[in-house]
Structure 1
Amino acid sequence: MSFLPLQIIMLGYIVFALIVVYLLIEFLVVPVYQYFRDPKGLRRFPTLDRFAGFTNLSFMIEAHRGFRSKKLSTLHKIHPVIRTGPNSLSYGDAQAIKDIYGHNTRCIKDGQYIVTAGTHYHLADVIDRHDHGRKRKVLSSAYALKNLEEWEFKVADKTARLIKHFDAVATVPESTVDYRAWTNFFSLDAIADIGLSHRLGFLDAGDDCCLSERLDGFATEVNFRECLYAVARAQSGIVWSYDWYKTLVKITRAISPYYRILWKLSDNWDGIVLHLARERLKRYEAGEKLDDFFTSLMEDKGGKIQSLEWGEIVAEVNIMMNAGSTTTAIAMANVMFQLLKNPRHLAILREEIDSVVEPDETVVSYDKVRHLPYLRACLDESMRLFPPTAHGLPRVTPEEGWVINGDFISGGTTVAMSAFVAHRDEKVFPEPEKFKPERWLGEEGKALQPYFVAFSAGARGCIGRNISYLEQTVLLASVLRRYEFELPHPGWEPERMETMNLHLGPLPLKVWRRKFSQESD
């Protein structure tokens, strides 16, 4: 009777011992052996910390601290190249941009985009060049610069709705608005209208409650931003070990209360996208003729059916609602903060805007301000200082290897350059920590453009940058023309957290109407 339990106990000890041996070999013996064997010659580069040459855990820990690009920026002041993991390098010299991201590079998106992709790739994560070209061709007409005139009335509508709320707040002495939240409501309402002809109504309601739908059709009410940002928070903490990412997702779902909440919210985000896509499909199948991105996914300009799989359509709606809202909202909040922190530049910009806007113009016409040099300079300088997507977008060198900034790197090596780091290269951007919009003016400003990677660079650069500039320009010109803003107190700084984007926390601003000496507004 006692023999069987003892046998089971012994078997348990053996299994445990085997697991321990496996873990020691997998996470200690093999990494140490590979480090000293050094088949790719990466030991010549300084490391993020003393362990980064052996394990990706170092970069994961840094990611959980909330601002890994800032740490890299500090290290790159000393070292042009840093080894951030056993098979990954970070670059600090802006001259490396063209070799990693330029039009002629042989480097392609690396394994991160594979392990985080859903059942179907979207434009931002597809790796295959042919497939990327096909997707870009499908969407290029919708994102074309000539279409901005067709989208402007939608952006103007959202600007008017935001102004309606600000007008109400501005009548109450010492009242404040969370500019970060309201610009996010703006960008979400705008991209939903532009992309899906859908009215989210966040600006009207003053919150982001919406529906998340399961595959079986059951829907529940959730908060849009909470779900959207949970996806990047979860991925950015554990994705850096690609071979183990899927396993880490399962482990963190099972044992971490923090990650369990994030993954649940991430599931709800998938449900939000599914609900929006299904609602738009119903309208398309009902015969509504709507001029938006969704129509471009369904048929070309001549009306020929694109015949995309439903999963691919949902994936494109996903990235449109994500990237099409997040980075623009971050940029809008950042530029307002920088201008309030630097009142001299704010005064120059206001004078430029006032010179072209009519006294009774509430929502500023894009055509009047799109070519204002100082306005564009302020937007670009703010995105230089705090690029909405700050981290290094990872690429992998081709099988035969690749020369980066004059140095040969073996094939299959992950390489990246953080926009936050690139924009602080003092050889290109003197006094990099200062907000200096004038650096973007004239011929000197044109010379800086190859090193401005807020929208990435090369063939994989952001396809929606024109829409982002449209939204940023119209909103900023309109609110600066109409209101005075003030930070909570001198020296106030927002909280910042880097996930896949560099987010800033709430931006509570005092707001009141501007006074004009010779006109009533």
Structure 2
Amino acid sequence: MAGFLQQIGGELKQYEISHLILIAVFLCIAYPCIRAIYNLYFHPLRHIPGPPLWIAFPVTRTIGMVRGVAEYQVREAHVKYGEVVRVAPNAISFINPQAWKDIYGHGHAELPKHYPKGINMDPKKIISSNAADHFRFRRAMLPAFSDKALAQQEPLIRVYVDLLVERLREVSETGRPTDMVRWYNFTTFDLIADLAYGTPLQGLAEGKSNAWLDNISKLMKHMPVLVLVGTAPLLGLILRLVAGSKVRNAQANHMALVTKLAHDRIYHRKQADRGDFMDYFMRSRGQPHELSDAELIANSDLLMVAGSETTATLLSGATYWMLKTPHALKKATEEVRNAFKSGDEITFHEVRNRLPYMAVCLEEALRLFPPVPLGLSRSVPKGPPVQIVGLEIPEKTTVSVHHMSAYHSELNFHRAQEFIPERWLPESTTNPASPFYNDRRDAHRPFSFGPRDCIGRNLAIHEMHLIMAKVLWNFDLTLDEKCRDWHNQKIFGLWEKPPLEVLVKQREF
């Protein structure tokens, strides 16, 4: 009898376990479906159009990020749905120019930055600091990017621009195409490292990559994966078990290098008052807005990426689009060569004053190939709805202006998918007969907008103008045929930037 009862009890337990498993499976299937129905038909943002699959199952957009195609998908969504697109259950993307002011601008409470789950940002960096620290950081750092600072930094920068020209001369003698992405990266990383730490990375000198450059490329490709991990905890656990130690070791090694470089610059200065970043940052010592050693280290690391990768990207994009647009390349090259009798005359000041057409070529490259192509997300704070482009946006909604979608939209720019520098010339903005007269140029904010716009804008503009002028003055450039579709590349936060093969030939005098 006892055995019989045990058998019955065992069968009941087995039944209960099976029943619980079935319930668990049902819930795993039912909950996402119920949530999807809510997101589509009952959510406070249900009246805003967008791709239904992204709204119902947001992981589908994250998969697009991992594949490097999500930003193109957002652009396509704006073409289909218009200026305001719901790109996730709680996220809205805008391309109307007014959205820059409403989301990022002055005159209203700051909308705090939003980062996806899985992305951990360092609050000691100006880009991810709170409002109070941001004000302090900006006050301490802004003098490093003033006109006075630029005057001191120009001789340091010219060293690397001249070394770039020297290396390209050597390449031209081989008669073979060379990867201009590689050379622009070496140049901008070397000069920013010198401005940040007084130490070049020897990319131009040795003609090879370094751990810093390689880490940035890997980090950008890992970013979407981290976002996916944030939305799929089980996947996150698996990845942490498989590769967690490698990631932590790589981060630790990188921070050890950054800390050593920063400490060497702070405490063992060989050149006082050289006018570089650290020189200006340390002038805040003893002031209410001073930066601690940890903050100096964190922000110098940030500047290494923000001050080099984006400039190299713009130069690569500008070179490609000019080579794809022969009349623009010819006009810009002739302008540079007619403006200067020798390469030594090419300076920050003279480049900005004498080369208006080359300047609009760079502006058009910033539009067609923006170094930061995605949207910089903000979160609507708790409280009453916020007005954005005339819409009432409720709390906890993530909002942004999507750079690439705004710049490539026919709603903002005539013939938006084409490289047409002339759209930025004064006559196009003042002559009603110009086909570009009605372009909504205030939609174009490649350095962002408002109190958190790019602190290094002044330096970046001077740097890209000087480098491009030097290259055009010294060399004739021809795009290698295999790179004719170079702009069709994946985006992992930043552009993937495959090799841009260009035949570089020293000009004839």
TM-score, length basis structure 1: 0.84
C-alpha displacement of 1:450: 2.4
Corresponding residue for residue 397 of structure 2: 413
Mapped contact 1:119–1:311 kept (Cα < 8 A)? no
Residues 177 and 461 of structure 1, relative CA distance in 2, 3 Å threshold: same
CA separation of 1:93 and 1:240: change in aligned 2, threshold 3 A = farther
- What is the CA distance between 1:364 and its match in structure 2? 2.6
Q: 1:363 deviation in Å? A: 7.7
SS of corresponding position for 2:496: strand
> 1:52: which partner in 2?
54
Aligned to 2:150: 148
Q: For the Cα contact (< 8 Å) 2:197–2:265, is it kept in 1?
A: no
2:305 to 319, 322, 326: 322
Tell me how far apart the structure 2 counterparts of residues 380 and 184 of structure 1 sit (CA, whole Å). 20
Q: How far off is 1:398 after superposition?
A: 3.2
In structure 1, stretches of 5+ residues that fail to align are: 210-222, 517-521
Query: 1:275-320 CA deviation, whole Å, 9 max, x = no partner?
Result: 13323313422354253222344442x7759664444333212211
Judge which range, 375-384 or 107-116, deviates more: 107-116
Aligned 1:314-353 pairs, distance under 5 A:
314-353=297-336
Q: Is the 8 A contact 1:338 1:435 kept in 2?
A: yes
Q: Does the CA contact (< 8 Å) of 1:482 and 1:513 recur in 2?
A: yes
- Determine helix, strand or coil for the equivalent of 2:445: coil
Q: Distance in 2 between matches of 1:266 and 1:464?
A: 30
The CA deviation at 1:514 is: 0.8
Deviation (angstroms), 1:267: 5.2
Q: Which residue matches 1:158?
A: 160
What are the within-5 Å matches in structure 2 for residues 422-461 of structure 1? 422-442=406-426, 444-445=428-429, 449-461=441-453
Aligned to 2:98: 95
State how far apart, in whole Å, the 2-side matches of 1:247 and 1:363 are.
60
- Cα distance between partner residues in 1 of 2:42 and 2:397: 16
Structure having the higher helix fraction is: 2
Secondary structure of 2:155's counterpart equals helix
Distance, in Å, in 1 between the alignment partners of 2:177 and 2:483 is: 18
Mark the CA change 1:390 to 1:101 in structure 2 (over 3 Å): closer, same or farther: same
Q: What secondary structure, in the 3-state scheme, does the structure 1 residue paired with 2:199 have? A: coil
Aligned residue for 2:434?
Answer: none
Distance 1:125 1:8, change over 3 A: farther
1:391 to 347, 350, 374: 374
Tell me what 2:350 maps to: 368
Alignment of 1:23-172 (within 5 A): 23-24=28-29, 27-33=32-38, 35-38=40-43, 40=44, 42-48=45-51, 50-80=52-82, 81-106=84-109, 108-112=111-115, 116-126=119-129, 128-172=130-174
Aligned amino acid, residue 93 of structure 2: S
Matches of 1:473 and 1:142, distance apart in 2 = 19
**Offset, 1:390:** 0.5
Pairs aligned (count): 490
Instruction: Provide the rounded CA distance (Å) in 2 between the counterparts of 1:114 and 1:363.
Output: 50
AA aligned to 1:37 is: F
Report the residue type matching 2:442 in the other structure: P
Asked if the contact 2:74–2:87 (Cα under 8 Å) also holds between the matched residues in 1, the reply is no
Contact persistence 1:52–1:85 (CA under 8 A): yes
Q: Distance in 1 between matches of 2:19 and 2:297?
A: 48
Q: Deviations over 1:169-220 (max 9, x none)?
A: 11123x12100011011111011111221121110111123xxxxxxxxxxx
**Equivalent residue in structure 2 for 1:470, among 462, 487, 491:** 462
Match of 1:509 in 2: 502
2:182 alignment partner in structure 1: 181
Deviations 1:85-126 (A, max 9, x none): 110111233332222222235452343078533453311122
SS in 2 for 1:72: helix
How has the CA–CA distance of structure 1 residues 249 and 472 changed in structure 2, closer, same or farther, with 3 Å as cutoff?
farther
User: Which residue identity lines up with residue 209 of structure 2 in the other structure?
Assistant: D
- Does the alignment pair 1:489 with 2:484? no
Q: Distance in 1 between matches of 2:337 and 2:206?
A: 31
**Aligned residue number for residue 215 of structure 2:** 227
Q: Deviations over 1:247-288 (max 9, x none)?
A: 754443335xxxx49x94685355334313323313422354
The two structures have a TM-score, normalised by structure 2, of 0.86
- Relative to structure 1, the CA distance from residue 274 to residue 450 in structure 2 (aligned partners, 3 Å threshold; closer, same or farther) is farther
Cα distance in 2 for partners of 1:308, 1:247 equals: 40
1:258-273 matches, within 5 Å, as 260=243, 264=246, 268=250, 271-273=253-255
- Aligned to 2:53, what secondary structure does the other structure show? coil
Once residues 19 and 460 of structure 1 are traced to their aligned partners in structure 2, the CA distance between those partners, rounded to angstroms, is 46
**Distance in 2 of aligned mates of 1:340 and 1:90:** 32
Alpha-carbon offset, residue 404 of structure 1: 1.4
How far residue 330 of structure 1 moved from its aligned partner, in angstroms, is 0.4
* Separation (CA, whole Å) in 1 of partners of 2:108 and 2:427: 26
Separation in 2 of the partners of 1:82 and 1:487? 37
Of residues 475-484 and 113-122 in structure 1, the stretch that sits farther from structure 2 once superposed is 113-122
Which amino acid in 2 is paired with 1:473? H
Q: Report the equivalent of 2:3.
A: none
Look up the equivalent residue of 2:178 and give its one-letter code. Answer: V
CA 1:16–1:114 in structure 2 vs 1: closer, same or farther (change >3 Å)? closer
Residues 22/143 of structure 1: CA separation in 2 closer, same or farther (3 Å cut): farther
Partner-residue secondary structure (3-state), 1:504:
coil
Q: Residues of 1 paired with 2:233 and 2:190: CA distance?
A: 33
Q: Is the 8 A contact 1:159 1:363 kept in 2?
A: no
Q: Distance in 1 between matches of 2:123 and 2:483?
A: 46
- Select between 474-483 and 344-353 the one with higher mean Cα deviation: 344-353
Partner amino acid, structure 1, of 2:373:
A
Asked whether the equivalents of residues 121 and 128 of structure 2 are also in contact (C-alpha less than 8 Å), the reply is no
CA contact (8 A) 2:71 2:373 kept: yes
- Which piece of structure 1 moves more, 50-59 or 307-316? 307-316
Aligned Cα root-mean-square deviation (Å): 3.2
Alpha-carbon displacement from aligned partner over 1:125-160 (angstroms, at most 9, x marks no partner): 22x322211111111111223311111112211111
Asked if the contact 1:277/1:317 (under 8 Å) is kept, the reply is: no
Closer/same/farther in 2, CA of residues 471 and 32 from structure 1, 3 Å limit = same
Q: Following the alignment from structure 1 to structure 2, what is the Cα–Cα distance between the partners of residues 117 and 459?
A: 23
Give the aligned residue type for 1:122.
K
List structure 1 segments (4+ residues) > 6 angstroms apart after TM superposition: 5-15
1:444/1:248 CA distance change after superposition, 3 Å: farther
Which amino acid is the alignment partner of residue 241 of structure 2? A
> Contact 2:171/2:504 (CA < 8 Å) preserved in 1?
yes
SS at match of 1:112: coil
Aligned to 1:432, what secondary structure does the other structure show? coil
Q: 2:227 aligns with which of 231, 239, 253?
A: 239
Change (3 A) 1:504 1:66: same
